[in-house]
Amino acid sequence: MTNTPQISSTSARDDLRTEPRFIRGLVIAMAVIFLTVFVVLPLVVVFAQAFSKGVGAYFAALSDPEALSAIRLTLMVAVISVGLNLVFGLVAAWAIAKFDFRGKTFLISLIDLPFSVSPVISGLVFVLLFGAQGFWGPWLQSHDVHVLFAVPGIALATIFVTFPFVARALIPLMQEQGTQEEEAAISLGASGLQTFFRVTLPNIKWGVLYGVLLCNARAMGEFGAVSVVSGHIRGETNTMPLLVEILYNEYQFVSSFAIASLLAMLALITLVAKTILERHLDEGPSPSGD
């Protein structure tokens, strides 16, 4: 007798806490179906198409000189843009998070600009600046410097598009950490560089890796901005995403999807690395092994 009201009260509390079983099932099923159709299926299709003519055809497609050149160019552009954006991003985040100055808000909006501008427009800006009819075009031509339709142009467009990633990952982190540890280091006699390398950088290393990872993924995958400035010179200025499109338009599905599969693998690796890094960021920089 005494048990009955207790049981009914706990089940009533359960009802308040969670939705009925069939609604839970429905919502979970919807999420799973959505992810399958829009994420898992396309990934499977990419790999299925890439291997549709066998493993031999897959590796033949990847070792094609045009494909190798695209891979090399993509890696080079990624190294350049990630490297430079690492430096820019660190400097910008350091300035914004640790110092007060006029125009700080303006600088923050400038950093966000590449996110709000369509990549095609970003590419066009560089055409307008460096193109034959562009602002610096005639001067560049007379000095025989090739920016557009060459590696520098592609690198510039990629740097522009991927600029916010490192800075954006670091600004909130550095703001949250404040300036007290730096002040402590300076009052203990550390120089500016010692303070940066011994105190600031170790505290933000996971944030830096996180920013670099996202920056790299975007740099390798960028299509729009690069497409405008590249000129699509085969074997010279095609990056992997550009080559995927060209091969696809030429009905070379195996080659196209083989290269696409490389980009898909990059995405998967990025995803795993991102999950690991996020765990470190949540934990904070101090190891808690005792």
Residues 175-194 close enough to bind other proteins by CB under 8 A:
180-181, 183-191, 194
The Cα 286–Cα 283 span in angstroms is 8
Instruction: Give the contact letters, 143-182, x = binds to other proteins (CB under 8 A), - = no.
Output: -------------------------------------xx-
Count, residues near other proteins per rule CB under 8 A: 22
Question: Which residue of 13, 24, 72, 198 would you call a contact of other proteins, by CB under 8 A?
Answer: 198
Q: Which is nearer to other proteins, 56 or 189 (CB)?
A: 189
Instruction: Round to whole Å and give the CA distance between 31 and 68.
Output: 39
The distance of closest approach from Cβ of residue 201 to other proteins in the complex, given in angstroms and rounded to an integer, is 10
Nearer to other proteins, 204 or 215 (CB): 204
Q: Tokens standing for 183?
A: 């002040």
Q: Which is nearer to other proteins, 47 or 196 (CB)?
A: 196
Shortest Å distance, C-beta 102 to other proteins? 12
What CA–CA distance (Å, rounded) separates 258 from 240?
A: 11
Q: Which residue has the tokens 């000129």?
A: 231
Q: What track of x and - describes contact with other proteins for positions 267 through 286 (by CB under 8 A)?
A: -----------------xxx
Least distance (Å) from other proteins to the CB of residue 177? 8
Nearer to other proteins, 144 or 290 (CB): 290
Structure tokens at 178: 């404040």
Q: What is the DSSP string of 145-181?
A: ---TTSHHHHHHHHHHHHTHHHHHHHHHHHHHH-SHH
202 contacts other proteins (rule: CB under 8 A): yes
Element (H, E) at 207: helix 201-221
- What's the CA gap between 157 and 144, in Å, rounded? 20
The Cα-based distances of 285 to 28, 52, 84, 202 in angstroms read: 35, 46, 25, 8
Smallest gap from Cβ 185 to other proteins, in A, equals 7
CB of 94 to other proteins, least distance (A): 17
Q: In whole angstroms, how far apart are CA 87 and each of 80, 99, 122, 276?
A: 11, 18, 21, 23
Interacting residues toward other proteins by CB under 8 A: 180-181, 183-191, 194, 198-199, 202-203, 284-288, 290
